């Protein structure tokens, strides 16, 4: 099927994972690119920062002290949003006032003892250790009877609410499937039931044929600007082999994941020559004990930067009240991420 020329006309695109639409207005970026990019020099971070609550040996809020760790380090979040002992009480008044007690756990994962590193600047070998920690956390937390979903996510950069440049991520695990994975689960289950194939396996085949939205790939993973992207340089990292979760990756694929994480974050950093801010996270099989063949392991990257290191995208106005909207097409965003 020949793709219409979407470069000129406003149109909406369908997100088959969430079954929602995004408005694309490419004519607003038709004006030629000025090539001018404001750069904001970044303050260089020291390898060890005495006031950092994530650096080895330092004190955290609430009195705990980090060990002198030399690789990765996991601890219970001192300000956890979820608590293990929360009773799962329910409250329902006429179907309109509805609430449930939500038990869960929140952890913080330090990627490296080095305060000045980021995933883009860590070695593949060291990122592989982080991948192993993620798999360990997914397994350990997912095995708890009151945990049906494990969300691994990273906020990077002040703009995305990251509290500290020290390389780290968070793991929140809870009883009920959260909204975003719940939408994706419904869509993936429906696709499997209707077509007897996996939604993201099918989607990735189309993207590999088209090529224009591919950002980078290795034998195990591919990163694309999804056809339905909302954030200017949003990407979707997809396992090329069907795997429902991180725990199904074999040894080579785990290293493949470390490799693609480094490549993708490096492409982001190259875009505006800054340590690129984003929120990212994995979506994968819930840990409710069901096999969930419909689930396909992937990660979303949602970066807020738009035209330069200082101009960012805000979800305001029309987007809060009506629907998400973007100006730069996913095809153009992918080309820029590839460095074209
Ligand atoms: P973010 O940078 O994504 O906010 O993650 C840092 C987390 O670290 C945050 O959730 C926790 C915060 O609650 N934290 C501690 O657990 N102990 C501390 O001493 C400070 C911050
Ligand atoms: Zn630090």
3-state secondary structure labels for all residues of 71-130: CCEEEECCCCCCECCCCCCEEEECCCEEEECCEEEEEEEECCCCCCCCHHHCCHHHHHHH
SS3 letters across 254-280: HHHHHHHHHHHHHHHHHHHCCCCCEEE
102 burial type by CB count under 10 A (0-12 exposed, 13-18 middle, 19+ buried) = middle
pTM assigned to the model: 0.94
For residue 81, count other CB atoms closer than 10 A to its CB: 12
Structural domains of the chain ordered from first start:
42-338 (3.30.428.10)
Q: What is the pLDDT of residue 24?
A: 93
Inform me whether the pLDDT recorded for 98 exceeds 80: yes
Centre of ligand 2 to C-alpha 126, Å, is 17
Tokens of 297: 């392991």
Mean pLDDT of 306-312: 81
Nearest CA to ligand 1 atom 13: 79
Nearest CA to ligand 1 atom 17: 78
Inform me whether the pLDDT recorded for 39 exceeds 80: no
283 is catalytic: no
If one residue of 63, 77, 164 were mutated to test the ligand 1 pocket, choosing by the most ligand atoms within 8 A of its CB, it would be 77
Q: What is the pLDDT of residue 315?
A: 82
Q: Which of 115, 168, 191, 292 is catalytic?
A: 168
Over the stretch 101-122, which tens digit does the pLDDT of each residue have?
999 999 999 999 999 999 999 9
Centre of ligand 2 to C-alpha 256, Å, is 27
Centre of ligand 2 to C-alpha 119, Å, is 14
Q: Which residues lie with the beta carbon below 6 Å from any ligand 1 atom?
A: 53, 60-61, 77-79, 108, 155, 162-164, 170
Distance CA(188)–CA(167), nearest Å, equals: 32
Q: Which atom of ligand 1 is nearest to the CA of 76?
A: 16
Mean pLDDT of 69-98: 95
């Amino acid at each position: 099927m020949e793709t219409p020329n979407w470069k000129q006309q406003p149109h909406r695109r369908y997100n088959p994972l969430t079954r929602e639409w995004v408005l694309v207005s490419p004519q607003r970026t038709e004006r030629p690119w000025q090539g001018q990019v404001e750069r904001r020099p970044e303050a260089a971070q020291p390898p060890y920062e005495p006031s950092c609550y994530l650096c080895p040996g330092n004190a955290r809020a609430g009195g705990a002290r980090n060990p002198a760790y030399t690789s990765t380090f996991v601890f219970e979040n001192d300000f956890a949003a979820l608590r293990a002992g929360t009773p799962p009480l329910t409250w329902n008044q006429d179907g309109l006032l509805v609430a449930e007690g939500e038990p869960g756990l929140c952890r913080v994962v330090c990627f490296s003892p080095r305060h000045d590193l980021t995933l883009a600047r860590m070695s593949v070998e060291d990122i592989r250790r982080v991948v192993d920690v993620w798999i360990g956390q997914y397994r350990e937390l997912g095995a708890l009877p009151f945990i049906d979903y494990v969300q691994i996510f990273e906020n990077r950069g002040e703009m995305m609410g990251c509290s500290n440049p020290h390389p780290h991520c968070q793991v929140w695990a809870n009883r009920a499937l959260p909204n975003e994975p719940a939408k994706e689960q419904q869509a993936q289950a429906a696709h499997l039931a209707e077509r007897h194939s996996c939604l993201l396996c099918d989607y990735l085949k189309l993207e590999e044929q088209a090529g224009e939205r591919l950002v980078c790939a290795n034998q195990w993973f591919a990163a694309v600007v999804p056809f339905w992207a909302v954030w200017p340089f949003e990407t979707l990292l997809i396992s090329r082999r069907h795997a429902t979760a991180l725990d199904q990756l074999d040894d080579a694929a785990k290293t493949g994941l470390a490799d693609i994480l480094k490549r993708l974050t490096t492409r982001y950093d190259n875009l505006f020559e800054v340590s690129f801010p984003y929120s990212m996270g994995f979506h994968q099989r819930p840990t409710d004990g069901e096999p969930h063949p419909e689930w396909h392991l992937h990660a979303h990257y949602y970066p807020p930067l738009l035209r330069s290191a200082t101009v960012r995208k805000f979800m305001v106005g029309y987007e809060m009240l009506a629907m998400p909207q973007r100006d730069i097409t996913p095809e153009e965003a992918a080309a820029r991420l590839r460095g074209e």
